[in-house]
Amino acid sequence: MQKVEHIGIAVKSLGTSIPLFEKLLNSPCYKTEAVESEKVNTAFFKSGEAKIELLESSDPEGIIARYIEKKGEGLHHIAFEVQNIIVEMKRLKEEGFVLLNEDPKPGADNKLVCFLHPKHTNGVLIELCQEK
């Protein structure tokens, strides 16, 4: 893994949260994007080398809506940039980690992504991401 690529934060409303994070980070939101396959709307900020990704559910039954219902708004995942997602997925699977998807899938911000089950990562949802 090369670096922390971004930190994902689950929010109820991008409309409320974007201005809050613009003030907090003293930086504008540089991109918003809908990821239909995940039923999520995203907003991105740069913070030094890493990025912050806000995640808002676009569906009341979506994974982010369920997450917020269960745990409230807050830290959702940490994403690590990888050179070759296929190789890294294979390596981690061989190390005993459970992957939430068997093949990389399209994610926000022009990335291929894979998530690791948090039961095997001390309760933290980990995302692997590679530039498409």
Are the beta carbons of 1 and 78 closer than 8 angstroms?
no
The reported pLDDT for the residue numbered 64 is 97
The reported pLDDT for the residue numbered 1 is 78
DSSP assignment string, 15-77 = HHHHHHHHHHHTS---EEEEEGGGTEEEEEEEETTEEEEEEEESSTTSHHHHHHHHH-SEEEE
The reported pLDDT for the residue numbered 47 is 85
The reported pLDDT for the residue numbered 50 is 87
Are the beta carbons of 42 and 50 closer than 8 angstroms?
no
The reported pLDDT for the residue numbered 49 is 86
The reported pLDDT for the residue numbered 48 is 85
- What residues are paired with 64 via a beta bridge? none
Could you list the pLDDT tens digit for every one of the 132 residues in the chain? 789 999 999 999 999 999 999 999 999 999 999 999 899 999 999 988 889 999 999 999 999 999 999 999 999 999 999 999 999 999 999 999 999 999 999 999 999 999 999 999 999 999 999 999
